[in-house]
Structure 1
Amino acid sequence: MTEHTILIVEDEPEIASLLERVLHKEGMAHTVTAGSVADGYVQFKRAKPSLILLDIMLPDGEGYELCKKVREESNIPILFMSAKDDEVDKLLGLAIGGDDYITKPFSPKEVAYRVKAHLRRLGYSDVQQPLHVGPFTMDAAETSVTKEGVALDLTAKEIGLLAMFLRHPNQILSKETLFERVWGESFFGSDNTMMVHIRRLREKIEHDPSKPQHIVTVKGLGYKFVQGS
C-alpha cells in the first residue's frame, strides 16, 4: 500500500509519531501529520489523502468539525481516535460521516489493520487504480470522472453519489444508504435533497435525463446503477 497517503490529525506528537512508524512498517510509507483542525484541513487539501486518522479533542476545536468539512468534498474513510468511550460520542462520530471509531489507548498495530481493512473495503488495491464501469472512469482519488473520455463537471456531492453507484453496479441502493454514505447523516425521510441531486447528476451523465439509462429508480426501494456500454 505504498501509494496511499494517510493523514494523521493528532495533537500529541508521540502518538502521531508512533502511528507513523507502525503504518510505515505495515507498508504505508506516505503519511502526513497535522495537530489541529485548521492544519488538518490544509493538509487534506494539499496531500489529497486516501484516509484520515482523526483525533476528536484538538487545540482549536473538535475533529467532528474537520470531518464535516471533509465530507463536503470527499468520501475517503475517516477513522476517529478518542479517549472518549461514551456511546453517544461514537454514534455522533459515525452519524456525521466517520467510518470507524477507535478508543484510546489503542494498539497501533490494530489501527494499521483497521486502516488496511477500510482501504480494501472501498476497493483500493496495493496500487490505486481508476475505476472503470461502462462508459465511466473515475480516478482513484474520486475527484474526477469522465464519460467516454470526456470530463464531467460534477460537484463533490455528485461525485460522491456516482462513486457509490460505480462501486455497486446493478445493485439497488436505498436512499438511506446513499444519504448516510454521501452526506454523512441519517436519512429522516425527506426526499427533496436526494431527488434534486439525482436529477442534476442525471442531467450531466444521461443521454436523455427524462429517460435515464444508467441511474434507474426502483420504486419503493431506491436507485440502481445500470452499467450500459
Structure 2
Amino acid sequence: MARSVLIIEDDDRIRRLVRMTLTGEGFEVHEAASGEEGLDVLARTGADVVLLDLVLPGKDGFEVCREVRRTSDAPVIMVTARGDSHDVVAGLEAGADDYVSKPFVPKELSARIRALLRRSSGAASRHRVQVGDLEVLPDEGVVRRGGEPVALTRTEFRLLCELAAVPGRVLSREELLERVWGYGYFGDARLVDVHVRRLRTKVEADPSHPTAVTTVRGMGYRLAP
C-alpha cells in the first residue's frame, strides 16, 4: 500500500513540483492551500507525513503544527525561508520533526520523507529500561513516569528509545541524527537539541535540572544508567 504525504502549501507551483516528484516515486499525495484546509484533509485521509509551509493564509504553519500534534503523531516536515534560524527553532518547538529550506531540492525532500518513514524499523533496545521513576518499554511503545503514561510524539519516543538502548553511554548529536532521523550528512544538530528539550518537559520532574536525559558538554546526550 502506498504511503501518503499531505502537502500544505499555498504556492501552486511548489505544490505541483512536489506532487510530481512524490507521485513519481510511488507516494500517494494529498494537497491543501491553507492551514484550515490542511487540517481537514489530514483528518479525512490520515496522511503518513505532513509537509507544512510556515507562511500560510489564515492559520500560520506554527499554529497548524500545534493542532496537528494534538490529533496525530504523523511526522511533520516544515518548510522555511533559507537561513531563518528563528523560524526553524520555533517550528521545531511547535512540534515539527524536521525542516527543509526554500528553495529545496525535491529529491532531497523525498529522501527525508523516506528516512522518517523508515524509523520504526531501527535497532533501538527492545528491553524495559527504568531510570528513577521513568519507565521505557520500547516493545510496547509505552513510557511511564511515576506509573502514569507519558504522551510522546513518534520522534520523541524514538529519541528516548535510542538513548535507552545504551543507558549511561553518551550519544553524539551526529549519532542521534543517524539513529533517530535516519541521516547525518544533511542533518542539523538543532533537530536533536530542540527535541531533547521537548522530551525533557515530558519525562523530567524539573526540565531545567534534568536527571534522566542528561547533557555531557561537548559530547552529546545520555540516559542516566
Give TM-score scaled by structure 1 length.
0.58
- Determine if contact 2:164/2:223 at 8 Å carries over to the other structure: no
The equivalent of 1:76 in structure 2 is 74
The structure richer in helix per residue is 2
Deviation at 1:118, TM superposition (A): 2.3
Looking at structure 1, the residues matched to 45 and 150 of structure 2 have their Cα atoms a distance apart, in angstroms, of 20
* Corresponding position of 2:173: none
Q: Are 1:123 and 2:133 an aligned pair? A: no
- Superposed CA deviations along residues 174-196 of structure 1, whole A, max 9, x for unmatched, are 9xx9xx99xx76739xx885358
Contact 1:81 1:101 in 2 (8 A): yes
Give ranges in structure 1 of 5+ residues lacking alignment.
Answer: 126-130, 139-144, 147-153, 197-216
Percent identity for Structure 1 against Structure 2: 26
Task: Report the counterpart of residue 187 of structure 1 in structure 2.
Answer: 197
Q: Tell me the equivalent position of 2:49.
A: 51
* 1:199 alignment counterpart: none
**Deviation string, structure 1 residues 94-131 (Cα, Å, up to 9, x no partner):** 232222222222222221122122222x2359xxxxx9
The residue identity in structure 1 corresponding to 2:120 is G
Which residue in 2 is equivalent to 1:99?
97
Contact 2:73 2:153 in 1 (8 A): no
More relative contact order, 1 or 2 (CA 8 Å, 6+ apart): 1
| Contact kept in structure 1, 2:73 and 2:154, CA below 8 Å | no
**Alpha-carbon distance change, 159 to 54 in structure 1, aligned in 2, over 3 angstroms:** closer
Cα deviations across residues 65-92 of structure 1 (Å, max 9, x unaligned)?
1111222343332111133532212222
Distance (Å, rounded) in 2 between the aligned partners of 1:14 and 1:39: 18
Q: Tell me if the contact between 2:10 and 2:56 (Cα under 8 Å) persists in the aligned partners.
A: yes
Partner of 1:208: none
Look at both structures and tell me which one has the larger radius of gyration over its CA atoms: 1
Cα gap change, 1:165 to 1:92, in 2 (>3 Å): closer
Which residue of the partner structure matches residue 14 of structure 1?
A: 13
Secondary structure of the structure 1 residue equivalent to 2:197: coil
Partner of residue 24, structure 1: 23
For residue 58 of structure 1, give the secondary structure of its aligned residue in structure 2.
Answer: coil
Deviation (angstroms), 1:10 = 0.8
Aligned-residue offset at 1:59: 1.0
Cα offset, 1:159, TM superposition:
8.2
Q: Is the 8 A contact 1:7 1:31 kept in 2?
A: yes
Matches within 5 A, 1:1-229: 3-28=2-27, 30-83=28-81, 85-120=83-118, 122-123=119-120, 133=126, 156-157=151-152, 170-172=165-167, 187=197, 194=203
- Structure 1 residues 161 and 93, CA gap change in structure 2 (3 angstroms): closer
Q: CA RMSD in A?
A: 4.4
Code of the residue aligned with 1:37 in structure 2: it is G
Tell me the amino acid that sits aligned with residue 14 of structure 1.
R
> Offset at 1:55?
0.5
Whether the aligned pair in 2 keeps the contact of 1:72 and 1:157 (CA below 8 Å) is no
Aligned length: 184
Measured in 1, the distance between the counterparts of 2:84 and 2:90 equals 10
